[in-house]
Amino acid sequence: MEYVLIIIAAVFVSNIVLNQFLGICPFIGVSGKVDTALGMTGAVTFVMVISTLVTYLIYHLILVPFDITYLRTITFILVIASLVQMVEIILKKISPPLYQALGIYLPLITTNCAVLGVAVLAVQKDFNLLGSTVFAIGNAIGFGLALITFSGIREQLDLLNVPARMKGVPIAFIVAGLMALAFMGFAGIV
């Protein structure tokens, strides 16, 4: 039950994009089409879950015992950067179709603050190993939900008669604001 609550909280109540403001760059950048949004969601889910798991283990097995937790930021970003590279190489070898689908999105993930953010938050919130993994999965679902819904709206938005200066990013932000407003309706359910 505890884990179900973690997922519901991460997906709806404190949605990583619309409430925590992490991963805004891909949210605005690759949300033009539903297909690309799906690809990005797949790549982020993959990397987010693995990197949270690995950084959790490194933090509790290396950084805490040696009392060097101030190296957290450097360690985590290096782990994520090398994981992204590794995932890319492994995928290329074992699943070329998946590599083709996620290919261009993988390198972008290194600088996606949602991945580093979830890894740091999972450590800060003192979850156990299973809790951290569930937390990462929940946040990945939340990211996907926000990104895919938003890209659906943006596809429709292209057909509308938006004032010239509002076209593109400004109107996208207003739409995101209204989406965030809708998500606030979930506040307090957990």
Partner 1 sequence: MNQWKNFSKGFIRENAVFTLFLGLCPTLGVTTTAVNGLGMGIATTFVLVMSNLVVSLIKNLIPNKVRIPCFIVIIASFVTVVELVMKGYAPVLFDALGIFIPLIVVNCLVLGRAEAFASKNTIWSSLVDGMGMGLGFTMALTVLGAVREILGSGAFFGLKMISGEAMLLFILPPGAFIALGYLILLANILKEKTT
Binding residues vs partner 1 (CB under 8 A): 18-25, 28-29, 70-74, 76-78, 81-82, 110-113, 116-117, 120-121, 124, 165-166, 169-174, 176-178, 180-181, 184
Give the shortest CB-174-to-partner 1 separation in angstroms: 4
Closest CB to partner 1 among 96 and 170?
A: 170
Closest CB to partner 1 among 4 and 181?
A: 181
Give the shortest CB-84-to-partner 1 separation in angstroms: 11
Query: Do the Cβ atoms of 127 and 61 come closer than 8 Å?
Result: no
Report the C-alpha gap between 109 and 125 in whole angstroms.
Answer: 23
Closest CB to partner 1 among 1 and 74?
A: 74
CA-based radius of gyration for the chain: 17
CA-to-CA dists, residue 77 to 45, 47, 52, 80, 110, angstroms? 17, 12, 11, 5, 8
Give the shortest CB-47-to-partner 1 separation in angstroms: 13
| Secondary-structure breakdown of the chain: helix, strand, coil percentages, each rounded to the nearest 5 | 80, 0, 20
Give the shortest CB-91-to-partner 1 separation in angstroms: 19
Closest CB to partner 1 among 82 and 128?
A: 82
**In this structure, what token pair is assigned to residue 101?**
């689908």
